[in-house]
Amino acid sequence: MSKREFQTEVSQLLQLIIHSLYSHPEIFLRELISNSSDALDKLRHLTLVDDTYKALPFTPRIDLELDEEKGTLTIADTGIGMNEEDLVSHLGTIARSGTKNFLAQLSGDAKKDSNLIGQFGVGFYSAFMVADRIEVVSRKAGEEQAWRWVSDGKTGFEIEPAERSVAGTTILLHFNEEGKQYANSWRLREIVKKYSNHIAFPIFLTYDKSEWNEAEKKSEKVRTTEQVNAASALWRRPKNELTDEDYKELYKSISGDSQDPLFWFHTRAEGTLDYTTLFYIPAKAPLDLYQAEYKVGVKLYVKRVFIMDDARELLPQYLRFVRGIIDSEDLPLNVSREILQQNRVLTSIRTASVKKILSELKNVASSQPEKYLEFITQYNRPLKEGLYSDYANRETLLDLIRFKTTKADGLTSLAEIKSRMKEGQKSIYYITGGSESLLRTSPLLEIYKKKDLEVLILDDDVDEIVFSGVDKYGDIDLKAVNKASTGDDLKDEAEPETDKAEALKPLLDKLKATLGDRVKDVRASVRLADSPSCIVSDEDDPSLQMQQMLRAMGQ
Ligand code: ADP
Ligand code: MG
C-alpha cells in the first residue's frame, strides 16, 4: 500500500469545505451521483462510437446501499471508472484553475458557499463533510486491475490494488457525527428526488425495509432494492406534460444552483433540423461570469446521449450565463470538438438558439417588466458585450439593454429615450469614462442640461469600447459628448461668435504654449455653462478612458 499526500490546495480546500459548508451538507449526495452520471455518460458514449468498447457489457445504473447499523453508504456506478493514475490525479489534486477562484470567493456564509461548490467542480471532496473515512474502489473500462483509494480527508490518501468484477466505481462513506442523519432511507430518497430525479440513469436504493409480519405479529427488516429517481430525459417530453416543478428540478440538477431559475425557454424544432433546446436563466449571475475560465452552462446531447458539457461553441460567449440543454437528432454521436467548431448543423442550431433566447427575452421585457428588471440587473453587462461581438443581433440587443440617464432614475430602454426626444432632436447622446457620480457631475453635461437634452450615463467598464462601435439606434445617431464635434443639436452654439474668438486668441495661445505636448489643441467652446474648462477628445481619437483600457489590454 502506498501513502500519498494531498496537494496543498486540496488540504486547504478540504479544511474550508468541512468548516464552512457545515449547514448544508446534503449536497454531498448530489455531487457523488452527478460524478457517477458523468462516468456513465462517458462510457456509454465510448460504447457507441469506439469499437474497443462496443463489445463490453454495459448496464448503466447507480446503486446506493445503506447500512444503517454500521453507519455506511456506498454509491456504486457501472461507468468509465478510474485506474491508479486517474485516482491520484482526480482525487488528490486540483486540476481546474477555477478552483483557486473558488477558494478566494468563499464567503463564510454556508448557504452561499454550498452554491459555489457545484459551480467550481470541487464536488467529490464535499463528501468529507459527512464522512471521516472514504474508500473508493474503481476499475477502468477496458482494464483488468482495480484500485482502492482510502482517505480520512486530512493529510493524504493510500492507494493499493483491489478487485472489482466489472468496470465502474464504488464509493464507500463511513459517516461521521454530522453524516449520521443520512444513514436513513427516507432522507436519502428525499435528497435524490430533490437533486437527481432527472439524472438519465436509474438510481437504486438498497436498505432494510421494516415490514409487518402478520404470522409472527411483529415488524421485521427486509433487505429491499427500489428505484428512487424518474430517470427520464425530461426535456424530450411535450411541454404540456411538464409542470413548473419539473422544470425547476431539472434546472437544479443540471446547474448545481439551489435557487429557482428566473425563467426558461423550451423549444422543439422539427423540419430541416430536429432538435430540442431547453434554456434557463439563473436568478443570480454565475460567480465565474467574468472569469476567462468560466464554466460552460449548456450541455450537448445527441439523441438523448450526453456528448459534452464544456463546448464553448454552443452559444456565443456573451450568453455564457445561460444554462440548459441542446439535444440534436442530426449530429453524429462521435462529434468532436474540432468538428463542432465548423459544423453546419451546430451553427444553425446556435444561430436559431440565440435568436430564440433574445426574442423570448424581449417578450419577457414587454409582458413581465418586473421580472425583466430582475433579469437585466444581473445581465445588462454581458448583453453589452454582445453589441461588440454579435453584429447580426445588434438591434435586438440595443432594445434589451437598459441605461442610466440624466432624465430618469433607475434603468431606461432606448425605446423610451427615443420617445422622449425633443422636437427636431437628431441624435441620442451619451457620456462614458468614469464612475456614475463622476459622469453625472461632469462639466461636459452642462450644455445638454441647459438645452434640456437627455444624456445616457454609461459607467460600465466595457461601455467605452462597446459604444464607440455603435453609431446608430435604428435611424438615430448615437453620439458621445466627450468628443470634440458636438453633433447637430448643438451646432448653433458650437462656435463662439467671431469677435469673442478674436478676443480670446491671446489667452488660447498662451495656454497652448504652456501646456505644450500635453494637448493637441486648445479651443474656445460654448459647451460649458458653469465650468471654465474641460478636456475632450478629437472625433477620431480614442478617449482618455479608452486609451487607458487599450494600454491595459497591451494594445
Ligand atoms: P468534477 O466532477 O467537477 O470534475 P469532482 O471533484 O466531482 O469534480 O470529481 C473530480 C474528478 O474525479 C472527476 O472529474 C472524474 O474525473 C473523477 N471521478 C469522480 N467520481 C468518479 C466516478 N464515480 N467515476 C469516474 N470518475 C470519477
Ligand atoms: Mg463532480
Residues 6 or more apart in contact with residue 332 via CB below 8 angstroms: 302, 339
Q: What is the pLDDT of residue 511?
A: 82
User: What is the distance in A from the centroid of ligand 1 to the CA of 119?
Assistant: 14
- The finding on whether 169 has its CB within 6 A of some atom of ligand 1 is yes
Start-to-end C-alpha separation, the chain: 55
User: What is the distance in A from the centroid of ligand 2 to the CA of 403?
Assistant: 39
Q: What is the pLDDT of residue 555?
A: 43
- The finding on whether 480 has its CB within 6 A of some atom of ligand 1 is no
Q: What is the pLDDT of residue 258?
A: 85
Task: Give the range with max mean pLDDT: 99-103, 109-113, 167-171, 541-545.
Answer: 167-171
275 half-sphere exposure, CB direction, 13 A CA radius: 23
User: Cβ distance 63 to 169 under 8 Å?
Assistant: no
122 CA: nearest ligand 1 atom: 6
- The finding on whether 197 has its CB within 6 A of some atom of ligand 1 is no
- The finding on whether 256 has its CB within 6 A of some atom of ligand 1 is no
User: Cβ distance 124 to 134 under 8 Å?
Assistant: no
Residue pLDDT, tens place only, 243-300: 999 999 899 888 888 899 999 999 999 999 999 999 999 999 998 888 888 889 999 9
171 CA: nearest ligand 1 atom: 23
Higher per-residue confidence, 21 vs 397: 397
Q: Is 337 annotated as a binding residue?
A: yes
Ligand nearest to the CA of residue 37, numbered in listed order: 1
pLDDT band, very low/low/confident/very high, at 56 (cuts 50, 70, 90): confident
Higher per-residue confidence, 554 vs 104: 104
Higher per-residue confidence, 510 vs 178: 178
Residue pLDDT, tens place only, 139-176: 999 999 999 999 999 889 999 999 999 999 999 999 99
- The finding on whether 345 has its CB within 6 A of some atom of ligand 1 is no
User: What is the distance in A from the centroid of ligand 1 to the CA of 168?
Assistant: 12
Residue pLDDT, tens place only, 426-480: 899 999 988 999 999 998 898 889 889 999 999 998 898 899 889 899 999 999 9
| Ligand 1 atom 19 nearest Cα | 35
Q: What is the pLDDT of residue 126?
A: 87
Ligand nearest to the CA of residue 95, numbered in listed order: 1
Q: Which amino acid is at 446?
A: E
Q: Is 97 annotated as a binding residue?
A: yes
User: What is the distance in A from the centroid of ligand 2 to the CA of 509?
Assistant: 69
| Ligand 1 atom 11 nearest Cα | 90
- The finding on whether 92 has its CB within 6 A of some atom of ligand 1 is no
Round the average pLDDT of the chain to a whole number and report it.
87
Q: Is 297 annotated as a binding residue?
A: no
What element of type H or E holds 440?
A: helix 436-440
User: What is the distance in A from the centroid of ligand 2 to the CA of 442?
Assistant: 50
Would the pLDDT of 326 be above 90? Answer: yes
Q: What is the pLDDT of residue 36?
A: 95
- The finding on whether 90 has its CB within 6 A of some atom of ligand 1 is yes
Q: Is 546 annotated as a binding residue?
A: no
Would the pLDDT of 484 be above 70? Answer: no
Output Rg (C-alpha) for the chain, integer angstroms. Answer: 30
Would the pLDDT of 554 be above 60? Answer: no
Would the pLDDT of 7 be above 90? Answer: no
Higher per-residue confidence, 273 vs 232: 273
Closest CA to 294 of 120, 122, 462: 120
| Ligand 1 atom 18 nearest Cα | 35
Q: What is the pLDDT of residue 177?
A: 93
Would the pLDDT of 86 be above 90? Answer: yes
Q: H/E/C letters for each residue in 264-317?
A: EEEEEECCCCCEEEEEEECCCCCCCCCCCCCCCCEEEEECCEEEECCCCCCCCH
- The finding on whether 82 has its CB within 6 A of some atom of ligand 1 is yes
Lowest pLDDT segment from 24-33, 207-216, 262-271, 385-394: 24-33
Closest CA to 466 of 551, 397, 537, 396: 397
Q: Which amino acid is at 497?
A: E
Q: Is 123 annotated as a binding residue?
A: yes
Report CA torsion sign: 127, 128, 134, 139: positive
Q: Rounded distance, CA 26 to CA 184, Å? A: 12
Q: Is 410 annotated as a binding residue?
A: no
| Ligand 1 atom 7 nearest Cα | 123
Residue pLDDT, tens place only, 183-216: 999 999 999 988 788 788 999 999 999 999 999 9
42 CA: nearest ligand 1 atom: 25
- The finding on whether 31 has its CB within 6 A of some atom of ligand 1 is yes
User: What is the distance in A from the centroid of ligand 1 to the CA of 82?
Assistant: 9
Residue pLDDT, tens place only, 296-324: 999 998 888 778 888 899 999 999 999 99
Q: ipTM of the assembly?
A: 0.99
Candidate from 78, 80, 90, 148 with most ligand 1 atoms within 8 A of CB, to mutate:
90
Give the mean model confidence (pLDDT) for residues 46-60. Answer: 89
| Ligand 1 atom 4 nearest Cα | 121
User: What is the distance in A from the centroid of ligand 1 to the CA of 5?
Assistant: 19
pTM for the full predicted model: 0.70
Q: Which amino acid is at 230?
A: A
Q: Is 395 annotated as a binding residue?
A: no
Give the mean model confidence (pLDDT) for residues 398-427. Answer: 93
- The finding on whether 79 has its CB within 6 A of some atom of ligand 1 is yes
Q: Is 179 annotated as a binding residue?
A: no
